[in-house]
Each structure stands twice: as structure tokens, then as C-alpha cells.
């Protein structure tokens, strides 16, 4: 059984409140028990000393025991739970509270026992007496015995105080539970509301509504909670990425159709003309049809090669070799193309060893140079720089051609993506050369990046690890 965030938060707040109140009650009663007991014992001893002091003062003032004064002191002590007995030095009983009012004494002791047993069911207290000798001029004048229920006892006022304190703790507990429940509901609503909006937005995204108004709403709504704010931002970024990927997918479909339509339409028109007898199936026309068939085959080969490079099961035949001679060899194959466009071609650097698949690295560099050749105008220049960069080897291909607009840079390595929206045949290509280059670089544990500005040329930077990761 699954519970909602609101229920869990509310229950957690209530449980925390119960735990805090229970702990507070336990500690309060525990500490109160210890300190209050010490207080009661000290209070009893203090009252005993006060009574003895009064009686000693009476004897010293008059030189004899005054039964009337002793009775007044004894009755006052009896009202406070103490039974006094005063005897002279010869053993004569001057005054005894138990004789004065035995019934009162018995009821008082029974009430004390009842109070203590009501508080402590296992209480084992009993009647306790303390004897204090009375001296006058260094001679013993008698003794004062003070009896009470010991070792300590709680009066009715003491029990009332403890009961009031416990009732107060109960009220605090009830208030805390209600307060925790209200706060839990408020916090749960504040936390769950943006999460529910995110869930609804995620469901809309799963249905393909990337640009739905709910995405904009959760972005504008935001949250003061850091994690929820990050979640909202992540969902917003996800929606934007999926929307862009959806646009790229639609564009990919259109681009593939465009790339296939042209050669197929040419083949179809040529074949129909020859079938209808309009054209004679001579060598030139058959060669034109063959070229279009080769073009379609090349496109299919490029797609197959890209799929193979992007697959996790790509096998790399790594060997250690100097990449500088490899670049020199590739440049010689491009010399005629660059010469025909009067493009200055320069290679800078020195020998650098890499541990990589030689054929695939050749394909990568060929794709970068082909791209530079296509988009560099006549009379331009292309520079290739090779240098070490720590554990990597860095290859930079820089041209001063048409450049790439800023809005096209994030997608330049997407398959079939071309900044030239018209897909001018003059630049040629299928638009997956850079996709293949990126797949090869990443398969080797390297990377490829581009910096470009429209009208100022482009700079592609390839990094390859010297040793496999």
C-alpha cells in the first residue's frame, strides 16, 4: 500500500511531536522526582530544626518546660504532618501529640501513606522518629522526638502540584499534536503542490506535448525548496531538449527524404525517358543513372557506417602510431581539391604518438578536411595544427570560410543537420560527416568541439588520448 507525500509528512510531524512530548514528560518527571524528593527531605529537616529551636528557646527563657507553649508548638507541627513528644531529663513526658490527639495522628499517618502509595504503588515507607537532645548551661534539659512518615512524604499540596504539572504536560502534548498536524498539512501542501505540477507536466511530456503551457507554468511558479527548484529546472530542460530532439527528428526525416528524392527522381525520369523512346540508352545517359545509383549507395553506406560507429559493440583495431605522417598523407590526397579553389593549406606541429584505430582516425580527419574544403571560399585558407596536450593529442582544423551561426552550433554534429538550410548541391555531402567524426572520437575516449562565427570561419578541435582509458 502506497501513501501520499501529504500523509507521510503529516504522520512524521505527529510522530516527532509525540516523541518530543513523551521525552519531555519523562525527563520532567524524572528530574522533578529527584530534585523534589531532595527538596522535601531538606524541608523536613529544616522544619525539625525550627521546632527544636523554638522549644530550646522556650526552655532557656523560663528555665522550665512550659506545657502550654509546647502544646501550641506541637499542634502547629501536627498540622504540618509532624508528631512531637517532649520529655524532661528525668524521663517525664511533658507533652505527647499522640496522647493529645491520637485519632488525628492516626488519620494523618494513614493519609500520608495513602498519598505516597497513590503516587508510588510499591512504596515501602513507615513511621520515622528523630530525637534531638536539649541542653541548657551544658546540662541536658530533656529530649524532643519528632515523628513523621518517612523517609519522606508528599503532602496534599505537593501531590496537587505534581498533578497540575502532569496535566499541563498533557495539554501541551495535545496542543503539540494539533499544531504538528496543522504544520504538517501546510508543509505537505507546499511541498507536494509543485511536485504534483511536475508530475502532471512529466505526463504531458510523455504524451509529446513538449511546449505545453504547463511547462511554462512550473518554470514561472518555481519553489523556495532547493531540491524541488532543481527538479523543476530539470523537467524544464528535459522538455526543451525533447522538443529540440523532436524538431531534429522531423528535420531528419525531411532531410533523408530530400537526399533520396533527388537521385531517385533523376533515375526515374531518365529511365522513363528511355523506356518511352524519348532518349536513347547511350553511354552518357546510362553513366548518369549509374552516378545517381552510386550516390544513393554512398548515402546508405554512410548511414550504416554511422550506426556501426555509434554502437557499443564497435571493435577498434588499436595500434600505436605517429599521427603526423598520417595527416601529411591525407593532405596530399586533398592537395588538388584545395589547389583548384586556390585555398592555402598549412600543417603545423611535430610527431605525436597515439594508440588508436588508424583507419577510423583517417576517416575522422578526412571528414574534417572535406568539411573545411566545402565551406572555405576560393582564395581562403585552412590550417591544421598538431600538438600534445597532457595525456591527449590535440588536432585543430581551422578555416576562414562561411562559419556557422550561433543557433546552429549545438546541432552541428547531429546527423543530416546542415547549417545551409537550402542544402545547396554546390557544397555536396549528406550531412552526416561530422556525426561520423564525433562517433569515432568518442569511441576512442576522445572529444571533438567546434568554435565558429558566421562569416569568420570555423575551428574544429579534436582530442585523442595517447593511451586507451
Q: Which of 52-56, 59-63, 413-417, 433-437 has the lowest mean pLDDT?
A: 413-417
Instruction: Answer yes or no: same fold for 5-174 and 316-465.
Output: no
Which cell numbers hold the place of 468?
A: 586507451
Residues 6+ apart with CB under 8 A from 296: 260, 263, 264
334 Cβ contact partners less than 8 Å away, ≥ 6 residues apart? 345, 369, 373
Asked if 330 and 365 touch (Cβ cutoff 8 Å), the reply is yes
Tell me, what's the pLDDT at 425?
47
**Average pLDDT of the chain?**
80
CA angle (47 as vertex; 42, 50 as ends), nearest 5: 125
pLDDT at residue 322 greater than cutoff 90? yes
Would you state the pLDDT for residue 96? 87
Cα 263 to chain centroid, rounded: 55
Proportion of the chain above pLDDT 90, given as a percent: 14
pLDDT digits (tens, 9 = 90+) for 376-405: 889 999 999 999 888 899 999 999 988 888
Cα 59 from Cα 132, distance rounded (Å): 14
The set of cell numbers assigned to 368 is: 574534417
Between the ranges 220-224, 373-377, 405-409, where is the mean pLDDT highest? 373-377
- 5-174 CATH pick, 1.10.10.10, 3.30.200.20, 3.40.50.300, 3.30.450.20: 3.30.450.20
Backbone angles phi, psi at 214, to 5 degrees: -65, -30
How many CA atoms does the CB half-sphere of 150 hold within 13 Å? 15
Mean predicted confidence (pLDDT) in 225-231: 75
C-alpha cell of 291?
552516378
Tell how strand 381-389 and strand 392-399 pair up: antiparallel
Confidence of residue 302 (pLDDT cuts 50, 70, 90): confident
Among left, alpha and beta (phi > 0; psi -120 to 50; other), residue 428 is: left
Which of 29-43, 119-133, 202-216, 347-361 is the least confident region?
202-216
Domain spans of the chain, in order of start: 5-174, 182-254, 316-465
- CA-based diameter of the chain, in Å? 161
Fold of 316-465: Heat Shock Protein 90 (3.30.565)
If pLDDT is split at 50, 70 and 90, which confidence band does 215 have? low
CA distances from 102 to 78, 116, 282, 469 (A): 11, 21, 146, 101
- Cα separation, 453 vs 459, whole angstroms: 9
On whether the CB atoms of residues 279 and 267 are closer than 8 A, the answer is no
CB atoms closer than 10 angstroms to residue 171: 10
Q: What is the mean pLDDT of residues 234-245?
A: 77
Greater confidence (84 vs 161) lies with 84
Task: Please tell me the pTM assigned to this model.
Answer: 0.49
Residue 374 has pLDDT above 60, yes or no: yes
192-195 long-range contacts, Cβ below 8 Å, gap at least 24? Answer: 192/4, 192/5, 192/6, 192/9, 194/218, 194/221, 194/222, 194/223, 194/225, 194/228, 194/232, 195/5, 195/228, 195/231
At residue 212 the predicted structure's pLDDT band, cuts being 50, 70 and 90, is low
Average pLDDT over residues 187-192: 76
User: Lowest-pLDDT range, 113-122, 423-432, 447-456?
Assistant: 423-432
328 or 138, greater pLDDT: 328
Residue 395: the pLDDT is: 94
Q: Which of 17-26, 174-183, 202-211 has the lowest mean pLDDT?
A: 202-211
Mean pLDDT of 237-248: 76
Amino acid at each position: 500500500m502506497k501513501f501520499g507525500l501529504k500523509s507521510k509528512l503529516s504522520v512524521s510531524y505527529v510522530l516527532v511531536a509525540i516523541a518530543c512530548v513523551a521525552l519531555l514528560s519523562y525527563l520532567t518527571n524524572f528530574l522533578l522526582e529527584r530534585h523534589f524528593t531532595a527538596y522535601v527531605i531538606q524541608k523536613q529537616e529544616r522544619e525539625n530544626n525550627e521546632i527544636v529551636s523554638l522549644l530550646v528557646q522556650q526552655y532557656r527563657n523560663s528555665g522550665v518546660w512550659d506545657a502550654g507553649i509546647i502544646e501550641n508548638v506541637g499542634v502547629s507541627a501536627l498540622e504540618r504532618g509532624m508528631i512531637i513528644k517532649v520529655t524532661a531529663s528525668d524521663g517525664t513526658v511533658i507533652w505527647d501529640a499522640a496522647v493529645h490527639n491520637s485519632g488525628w495522628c492516626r488519620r494523618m499517618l494513614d493519609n500520608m501513606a495513602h498519598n505516597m502509595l497513590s503516587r508510588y504503588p510499591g512504596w515501602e515507607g513507615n513511621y520515622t522518629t528523630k530525637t534531638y537532645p536539649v541542653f541548657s548551661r551544658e546540662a541536658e534539659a530533656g529530649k524532643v522526638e519528632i515523628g513523621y512518615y518517612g523517609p519522606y512524604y508528599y503532602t496534599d499540596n505537593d501531590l496537587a502540584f505534581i498533578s497540575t504539572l502532569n496535566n499541563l504536560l498533557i495539554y501541551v502534548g495535545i496542543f503539540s499534536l494539533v499544531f504538528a498536524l496543522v504544520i504538517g498539512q501546510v508543509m505537505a501542501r507546499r511541498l507536494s503542490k509543485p511536485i504534483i505540477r511536475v508530475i502532471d507536466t512529466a505526463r504531458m511530456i510523455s504524451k509529446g506535448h513538449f511546449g505545453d503551457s504547463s511547462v511554462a507554468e512550473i518554470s514561472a511558479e518555481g519553489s523556495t525548496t532547493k531540491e524541488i527548484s532543481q527538479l523543476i529546472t530539470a523537467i524544464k530542460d528535459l522538455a526543451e531538449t525533447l522538443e529540440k530532439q523532436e524538431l531534429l527528428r522531423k528535420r531528419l526525416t525531411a532531410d533523408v527524404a530530400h537526399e533520396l528524392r533527388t537521385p531517385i527522381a533523376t533515375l526515374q525520369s531518365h529511365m522513363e525517358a528511355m523506356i518511352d523512346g524519348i532518349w536513347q540508352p547511350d553511354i552518357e545517359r546510362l553513366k548518369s543513372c549509374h552516378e545517381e545509383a552510386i550516390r544513393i549507395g554512398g548515402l546508405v553506406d554512410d548511414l550504416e557506417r554511422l550506426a556501426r560507429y555509434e554502437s557499443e559493440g564497435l571493435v577498434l583495431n588499436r595500434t600505436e602510431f605517429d599521427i603526423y605522417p598520417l595527416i601529411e598523407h591525407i593532405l596530399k590526397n586533398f592537395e588538388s581539391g584545395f589547389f583548384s579553389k586556390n585555398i592555402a593549406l598549412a600543417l603545423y606541429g611535430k610527431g605525436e604518438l597515439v594508440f588508436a584505430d588508424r583507419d577510423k582516425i583517417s576517416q575522422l580527419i578526412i571528414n574534417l578536411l572535406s568539411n573545411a574544403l566545402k565551406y572555405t571560399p576560393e582564395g581562403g585558407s585552412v590550417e591544421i595544427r598538431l600538438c600534445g596536450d597532457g595525456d591527449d593529442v590535440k588536432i585543430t582544423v581551422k578555416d576562414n570560410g562561411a562559419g556557422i551561426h550561433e543557433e546552429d552550433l549545438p546541432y552541428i554534429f547531429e546527423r543530416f543537420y546542415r547549417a545551409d538550410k537550402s542544402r545547396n548541391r554546390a557544397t555536396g555531402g549528406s550531412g552526416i560527416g561530422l556525426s561520423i567524426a564525433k562517433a569515432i572520437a568518442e569511441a576512442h575516449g576522445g572529444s571533438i568541439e567546434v568554435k565558429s562565427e558566421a562569416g569568420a570561419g570555423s575551428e574544429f578541435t579534436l582530442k585523442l588520448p595517447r593511451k586507451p582509458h
